[in-house]
Every structure is written in C-alpha cells, then in structure tokens.
Amino acid sequence: MRIAMIGSGYVGLVSGACFADFGHDVVCVDTDIAKVEALRQGEIPIYEPGLSSIVTVNAAAGRLVFTTDLTAAVSQAEIVFIAVGTPSRRGDGHADLSFVYAAARDVAEALDGFTVVVTKSTVPVGTGDEVERIMRGANPEADFAVVSNPEFLREGSAIEDFRRPDRIVVGTGDQRARTLMAQVYRPLYLNEAPIMFTSRRSAELTKYAANAFLAMKIAFINEMADLCERAGANVQDVARGMGLDKRIGPKFLNAGPGYGGSCFPKDTVALVKTGQDHDVPLRLVETTVAVNDHRKRSMSRKVIAAMGGDVRGKTIAVLGLTFKPNTDDLREAPSLAIIQALEDAGARIRTFDPKGMDAARELLPGVTFCEDAYDAATGASGVVIVTEWNAFRSLDLPRLKVLMATPVLVDLRNIYRRKEVEAEGFHYESVGTLAPG
C-alpha cells in the first residue's frame, strides 16, 4: 500500500519505518527541513533502540523516503497518517491542535482519489469531526474518510511496541476506510495483535483514558510510597503484593519521582480540560495531575533532607536526565524540576545521562555535564539517581565513595538494595522504604 506519514518525530518516524518494513511504500513528510535532510543522509534525529537499522534497510530498499513535499506525498497515497505534535496549549492546558489542523488543510488540498486520512496524533474526543470539517472546507470535491487510530507505543521500546501491540484501535464508521485500515495492519495479525474497530469518538477517548489510568496508577503507588515511609512499610513489597493480583497487574507500580515524558503530563491535563468542556469533572484525573506536580519538587526536599537539611554551596551529582531510560526525550522529565529546585536551594549540579545531554545543555545552563557517573560524582556531597539507565544499575560503590565528598546515595528509582549500599558505608535513601529500626 502507499502511505504518507505527516510528521516524522518519535511516532511518525517509528510508524513510517515499521510500515515500510511490512512492505508498504512509505513517504515520511516533515516541515523541519534539517530533520528531513538528516534522514535522507541516513542520520536518525532521535535516539530509539533499533530504529536506525530499520530506517537504513527500508530506505535502501526504496520503500521509505523522506520529503518536505506534502502535496506530492499525499496525492499518491491511499492512506495518510497525521502524526504531528499535539503539545499543551500555552496558558490553558488544552491540547494545541494547530499542527493537526494545518496538516489537515494541506492534506485536503493535495488529495487525489479516495484516501483514508488517519489521526495518529493524540487528539481530544471530537477532533475527528473538526478535521473532517476543515478538510471539507478546504477541498469540497475531495473523496476521503477521517479515521482515528491512536498510537500506544512507548519511547524506548517503540519498535517492539509497534510490531507487537497489545491492541490496535481504529475509530471509523466508513466501510471503505475499515477495509483499508485492516489491510495496512494485516502483517500484525501474524503476531496476533487484536484490531478493534469502534466509533471515531470512542477511539479518540480510549487513548486519553488509557494514559490517564496509567498515570493514576503511578500517582497512586507514589502516594503509597509516602505512606510506607511514614508507617514503616516497604512500597516494593506492597506493590508486588498488589501486582500479583491479576485484576491489578504489576506494571506501572514502581514508586519513583513522578511521571514525565511527552505524553502523560500533557494528556492528563488535556483530559481534565475535555471533562470541563463537557461539564463532567474528572476528579480522579485532576487529583492525579496535582499529586504528580507536587511530587517532582518534593523529591528535591528528599534529597536535601538526605544531605543533612542544607545543600547551599554543596555539589550534587544527578544521574539520569531523560524522563525514562533508552530515550533522549527530556520533555517534562522529573530531572528538570528536581535540578531546578536543588539549584534554588543553592546546590551546584554535576550530571551525566547516556543520551539526554545534548538536549539538556540548552535547558540547564548552570549545570556541569560530565563524562560518566564517576566524573559526575567527583567532589559531590550526594549522588541522586533520577533515571534508571542500565549504566547506573551496578555502579562500583567503593570507587564512587572515594571520589565523593560525603557518601550519600539517593536512589529515586529503587534500583539498589539498601543493605548492599549501606554495607559500603553510604547513607542511603530510596522511595517508600526506610532503614529498619
């Protein structure tokens, strides 16, 4: 099939490359000339494990091309996916749909023959109706169907998630669109991925409901972690005991510094706004947002307490900047709020992240960027693990201790065992567990 992918970011590039890998002919479009030029040279503008080789193989085979020419790409396509960004709108937190609407207008003007236009971007319930209206206005003669097909992949495991999704959700009432959507995803049936057809509005809302639910699960276990600390329980045991219940499941029950990333923060806020617009207060989601906002900064208080209550003039090593491991994405990362709060308290920050430092340099002007964890820890009065990269999971603790001014390890991801760290002479703080006694 011939596919045009509008927007070649995390979602568009991964989806485009994977569709090409299925054997479809894919044209990835982006307005960012530098990005398209880089992709044409075989450079991948984001860090996503496994993506580079899929792009290289399929580009070499001629099934995957990159362009800024939306008109040519769309006029030859049977299916057009819109995968542009939908960030938070400045000021009110609604999803900013200006990129989606601009793309819809351009797509409408370029259509040639019946085309399925799919919003893969995360968009509020009812957006498909507006996209259809805009397209009809831009090109009244065009023959098209607007479909919702939200994307559920996760950065860091995006290729695997795309190839083996838990489900594919397709929202449409159009039979021709349904047939084409079934065809484009047919290769995934081999992996037995269930494809679920529903109304466009239900599909749009499913994405927000799923993200809000997962965010709520994280906020919930983080509150339990606080209670565990006060009440002398261990949140990892509590989470394990909860997660073994099949109705609950073990995922998204890791206590930590709060969720971040390009999706949960903006999608939860946008869902709250949608609820308000429909006069249906979504109190659980509102509270989730508030709990998480509060949590990020409260983690800095934990660090300060671990370092004796005052960090003015002290050096702190922050390990991990990205919102999770295996990505270079810093959007809404807890590290940013934690570092800001520690700087506000007078600390000097040294940091290392395996993939996030290039993007971080602009965002964190006062911070010293280091070669590795040991370089970051040199002269530090405390080391804080913010992102659980594999590189931080088995640090040489005796070596770290020698380099540090005082041996304090604050493990905001609970990746160390208290006994082992304390045995090396460190003061150790984690999330939701306390030293026995």
User: Which residue carries 């995803």 as its tokens?
Assistant: 185
Neighbour tally for 194: CB within 10 Å: 11
Nearer to ligand NAD, 131 or 318 (CB): 131
d(CA 198, CA 172): 6
Residue closer to ligand NAD by CB (options 33, 231) is: 33
Among 1, 31, 276, 293, the residue binding ligand NAD under the rule CB under 6 A is 31
Query: Taking the complex as a whole, how short is the minimal distance between the CB of residue 154 and ligand NAD, in angstroms?
Result: 6
Q: Binder to ligand NAD among 21, 25, 155, 429 (CB under 6 A)?
A: 155
Indicate which single residue of 4, 6, 142, 205 sits in contact with ligand NAD (rule: CB under 6 A): 6
* Sign for the pseudo-dihedral over CA of 369, 371, 372, 375: negative
User: Residue 30 annotated as binding?
Assistant: yes
Q: Which is nearer to ligand NAD, 28 or 383 (CB)?
A: 28
β pairing state of 115-119 and 64-67: unpaired
User: Per the structure block, which two tokens stand in for 344?
Assistant: 């506000």
Q: Half-sphere exposure of residue 56, counting CA atoms within 13 Å on the CB side? A: 7
Residues near 161 by beta carbon (within 8 Å), at least 6 away in sequence: 152, 153, 154
Q: To the nearest whole angstrom, how small is the minimum distance from the Cβ of residue 124 to ligand NAD?
A: 11
With contacts defined by CB under 6 A, name the span among 2-10, 219-227, 233-241, 398-406 that binds ligand NAD.
Answer: 2-10
Q: Is 228 a catalytic residue?
A: no
36, 74, 142, 153: which one contacts ligand NAD (CB under 6 A)? 153
Instruction: Compute the 3-state secondary structure of the chain and give helix, strand, coil in percent, each to the nearest 5.
Output: 45, 15, 40
Residue 255 annotated as binding? yes
Provide, rounded to whole angstroms, the least separation between the CB of residue 231 and ligand NAD: 35
Q: Is 252 annotated as a binding residue?
A: yes
At its nearest, how many Å lie between ligand NAD and the CB of residue 219? 19
Least distance between ligand NAD and beta carbon 9 (Å): 2
271 is in an annotated binding site: no
Residue closest to ligand NAD (Cβ): 9
Specify whether the CB–CB gap between 100 and 132 falls below 8 A. Answer: no
331 is in an annotated binding site: yes
Q: What is the separation, in whole angstroms, between the first and last Cα of the chain? A: 65
| Element housing 429 (H / E) | strand 427-429
In this chain, which stretch among 28-36, 132-140, 249-257, 423-431 interacts with ligand NAD, using CB under 6 A?
28-36
Residues 205-234 that bind ligand NAD (CB under 6 A): none
Q: How far apart are CA 5 and CA 2, in angstroms?
A: 10
- CB within 8 A of 340, min separation 6: which ones? none
Range 87-146, binding ligand NAD (CB under 6 A): 99, 102-103, 121-122
CB half-sphere exposure, 13, CA atoms < 13 A: 28
* Among candidate residues 183, 215, 214, 181, the one with its CA nearest the CA of residue 198: 181
Q: Which residue in 18, 28, 228, 263 is the catalytic one? A: 263
265 belongs to the binding site for ligand NAD (CB under 6 A): no
Four-residue CA torsion sign, 146, 147, 148, 153: negative
Binding residues vs ligand NAD (CB under 6 A): 6-12, 29-32, 35, 70, 83-86, 99, 102-103, 121-122, 151, 153, 155, 262-263
Binding-site members are: 30, 35, 86, 122, 152-155, 207, 252-256, 260, 266, 324, 331
Binding-site members for substrate are: 152-155, 207, 252-256, 260, 324
Catalytic residues: 263
